Amino acid sequence: MIGRERLTAALDNLGRAFTPMKWTTPVDLPEHRQALAARLRSGDSTPYTRPIEFPEVDAAEVAGALTAVESEATQLPTPLRDLVLRHTDGIGEHLAAIIARDDAVLAAWAVASSGLPTAETRQAALEILAAPEVPDGEPREHGAADLVAAISDALRRHEVSGWSVEVDPNMAAMASVNGGRQRVRVRSDVLLSDREVRRLVAHEVGGHVLRWVNARRQVEPLAAYPFGNSAATEEGLAALRERELGHESVENLRRYAIRVLGVEKAQSSDLLSLAAFLHRYLDADDAAELAFRIRRGIADPGAPGGMTKDHGYLSGLLHLAKMPVEEIQLLRATKWGVENQEIARELAAEGAISTTDLVEYIEGES
């Protein structure tokens, strides 16, 4: 076993201290979504002026955690040391962009960090949206309790212990995974079909949770930390899992495609204009939900900008679908981004990372 206890403890502490999703989710988000959706339904085009506020940030705690990690990383071999320091640099930049509480600064950080959709991704999105809509045809009769039960069953089925599943009304996504806290959250107002429940369980447990589980089983403990793990890698792998299991749907691909166009549109649009654009493709409630999701952390409803990582669902899927199976398995053995594959290959050659005994996702009974 490689001795990195002090470093991994410092990284765990950093993961607990740095909670950007919490700090960029508006206070009273459900009320904001409802108000914006009502505006879309009524056709009211006057500017959305309701103040958008965010939780306070404990920057000092994060700064202390960053210092501790950087201090412990000095003893690592150069490739791993550089990997860790790029990670801490990235968190420091993200933290600075959040605590600035300057929409232009945060929007610029998002573009620098996650980029914008490529021409290839944009074209793929347009082609998806040009195809006929094919709804899954199933009634949406499963709420948050049903999704929690399905996720909990999948965790038990794969003998994943120590994880919690919680319902949260104040979130933009239908479900999300926080591996550092070993927690899956489900939005309180979800309403899903049978197929959508299966898809989300495959995405969240098969795509995200099991990646954490497999990374933590490696000889190299640093494999379990999200170094360079962009949305395009993380969400692309989860979307690829949906495809592998046959849960990919036209409806969901449309959702990914709309996010691509929404990310682009947000760069030049205020909140209401972005939501109105999304309303061309979505009903009022879903358009309002996605508008706030893309604009996480943007306080002025009249300013342009937003988070750009949501194009990574489709961008990542398109890129990863072209990769050899052995490369995908190596990505699933760590929490690292595609850009760190060379280091992962070197560690695999040394026996510090293995893809031979990964926990694979198994479907439950329908």
Q: What is the pLDDT of residue 366?
A: 56
- List, in sequence order, every beta strand (DSSP E) within the chain: 164-168, 175-178, 183-187
Which amino acid, residue 112?
A: A
Q: Cβ(85)–Cβ(79) under 8 Å?
A: no
> Cα–Cα distances in Å, from 228 out to 68, 123, 210, 269, 328?
19, 26, 18, 29, 16
Go through 12-28 and write b for each residue having 16 or more CB atoms within 10 A of its CB, e for each that does not. ebbbebbbbeebbbbee
Report the predicted TM-score, pTM, of the whole model to 2 decimal places: 0.88
Provide mean pLDDT across the span 139-155.
95
Average pLDDT over the chain reads 94
Nearest one of 275, 230, 236, 278 to 254, comparing CA atoms = 278
116 by DSSP, 3-state: which?
coil
Q: Is the pLDDT of residue 319 over 70?
A: yes
| pLDDT tens digits for range 150-187 | 999 999 999 999 999 999 987 777 899 999 889 999 99
